[in-house]
Amino acid sequence: MKLKKNIPLIDQHDKHGFWGGKFGGSYIPETLKKPVEDLTIKFEKLRKDNKFIKKRDFYFKDYIGSPTSFVKLENLSNHLGGAQIWAKVVSEANGGAHKIYNATVHALICKAMGKKYIVGDTGAGYAGKMLSMAAKKFGLKCKIFMGAKDIKRQKPNCDAMKKNGAEIVPVYSGSQTLVDAVSECMRYWVSNCDNTHMCVGSTVGPNIFVKICGWSTSQISKELKIQLKEKFNNIPKKIKLINCVGGGSSAYGFWSEFIDFNKKQIELIGVEAGGPKKSNLHAAPLSTNAKIGILHGAASYVCQNNEGQIHETESISAGLDYPGVSPIHCFLKDTKRARYTFATDEEALNAYKLVTKYEKLNPSLEPSHAFAEAIKIAPKLSKDTICIVNSCGDAKKDRDILKQRLGKY
């Protein structure tokens, strides 16, 4: 298994849609074969269409507000000693998280395909909120599938979705979290694929959805590459790109331009959700050596039992609370290009406390997992090491959890 150079990772799959011969694919019911094929053909056409690219770039700049800033966290760096900590503040994007990139592209594709309805899944509620925003912007009718547990714990985002005119469909099956929301959304698409476009909220699902999402979020690393050159005149010699990983859309977006670099120069570190301390309900298939399984139409490392039943997971961060992970991260793991670890709920909360104490930054619980790793490794690293954390979401949505766990927000 080998990574190729000069080809975007999203395109390094074989003709059956597998990365490294075994991750990804399209394990879908017969009914979805045609809509998935139509979408694949359309997307491949659109991404080569200059008019479409211009449109995308226009909305990325004018609507999303690209580029998001790249800042040094001086106080935090001084406090920790050792490596410099920097943040790519993707939460500045319209709506408050990286999910807006994928949502905007899906809305544009939906329009291009002449469909009037768009549906999507959401965990933390950001994918849902952004899709509802994009749907409103482009005049599409929108339905969002969300686990009942997540609806309760991410209320601010639910309020936003409703305000944007989207219908939230609560999902009561299974663990009532993201995994069930994705299943229910796919079921809805099976029943309505003739007039409805589906947006998968992360780099998961059947091959084409991994590609569209990765293509959209890669904007983050395109910006970062330019910003690195601006700040340092060149790409520094020792960089660590630290990103939380649930489905893996922000991590792929943050890394895509840097995968071809030597890992001694640019190390890629993915941080999964370790769940409550001492719990066994990690949502961390990559860092806890889960086996390969098929979930939501793709083969990837999946938290499951030996019969193939998908495990329930638990994490304080709804956006990372998912038993599967993107096939492209499995590929990055097996090729040893990226390193994956996890942070517990408690570590993420402590990281949140420390970051907000020293910096004017309000990372949501998802990137707080990434900050936890940065805080852990920075003191041991040299001063010329640049640790960059993708602060991919804003903590406004976590208001209730933070109040409850830390006594304040």
Q: Toward other proteins, which CB reaches closer, 33 or 61?
A: 33
Q: Kindly state the smallest distance separating residue 163's Cβ from other proteins, in Å.
A: 29
Q: Kindly state the smallest distance separating residue 286's Cβ from other proteins, in Å.
A: 18
For the chain, how big is the Rg over CA atoms in Å? 19
Quick one: which H or E segment has residue 204? none
Q: Report the interface residues with other proteins, using CB under 8 A.
A: 16, 25-35, 173-174, 179, 183, 186-187, 190-194, 291-297, 302, 304, 306-310
What DSSP letter does each residue of 264-324 carry, written as one string? TTEEEEEEEE--STT-S--B-TTTTTPEEEEETTEEEEE-B-TTSPBPP---S-GGG--S-
Q: Kindly state the smallest distance separating residue 204's Cβ from other proteins, in Å.
A: 13
Q: How far apart, in whole angstroms, are the C-alpha atoms of residue 122 and residue 39? A: 21
**Nearest Cα residue to 58 out of 199, 200, 219:** 219
Q: Kindly state the smallest distance separating residue 279's Cβ from other proteins, in Å.
A: 19
Please name the amino acid found at residue 377: I
**3-class SS shares of the chain: helix, strand, coil, % to 5:** 45, 20, 35
Q: Kindly state the smallest distance separating residue 130's Cβ from other proteins, in Å.
A: 23
Q: Say if residues 199 and 120 touch (Cβ distance below 8 Å).
A: yes
Please name the amino acid found at residue 389: V
**Nearest Cα residue to 332 out of 229, 178, 223, 214:** 214
Q: Kindly state the smallest distance separating residue 45's Cβ from other proteins, in Å.
A: 18
The neighbouring-strand residues paired with 243 are 270
Q: Toward other proteins, which CB reaches closer, 173 or 265?
A: 173
Q: Which two tokens stand for residue 196?
A: 């409805």
Q: Toward other proteins, which CB reaches closer, 96 or 205?
A: 205
Q: Kindly state the smallest distance separating residue 282's Cβ from other proteins, in Å.
A: 18
Q: Toward other proteins, which CB reaches closer, 34 or 383?
A: 34
Q: Is 372 helix (H, G, I), strand (E, B) or coil?
A: helix
**Nearest Cα residue to 248 out of 214, 283, 224, 275:** 214
Q: Toward other proteins, which CB reaches closer, 262 or 306?
A: 306
Q: How far apart, in whole angstroms, are the C-alpha atoms of residue 174 and residue 181? A: 10
Q: Toward other proteins, which CB reaches closer, 196 or 219?
A: 196
Q: How far apart, in whole angstroms, are the C-alpha atoms of residue 391 and residue 407? A: 23
Q: Kindly state the smallest distance separating residue 198's Cβ from other proteins, in Å.
A: 12
Q: Toward other proteins, which CB reaches closer, 230 or 307?
A: 307
Q: Say if residues 368 and 76 touch (Cβ distance below 8 Å).
A: no
Q: Toward other proteins, which CB reaches closer, 33 or 263?
A: 33
The neighbouring-strand residues paired with 145 are 121, 169
Q: Toward other proteins, which CB reaches closer, 186 or 245?
A: 186
Q: Kindly state the smallest distance separating residue 205's Cβ from other proteins, in Å.
A: 10
Q: How far apart, in whole angstroms, are the C-alpha atoms of residue 94 and residue 65? A: 6
Q: Toward other proteins, which CB reaches closer, 25 or 96?
A: 25
Q: Kindly state the smallest distance separating residue 184's Cβ from other proteins, in Å.
A: 9
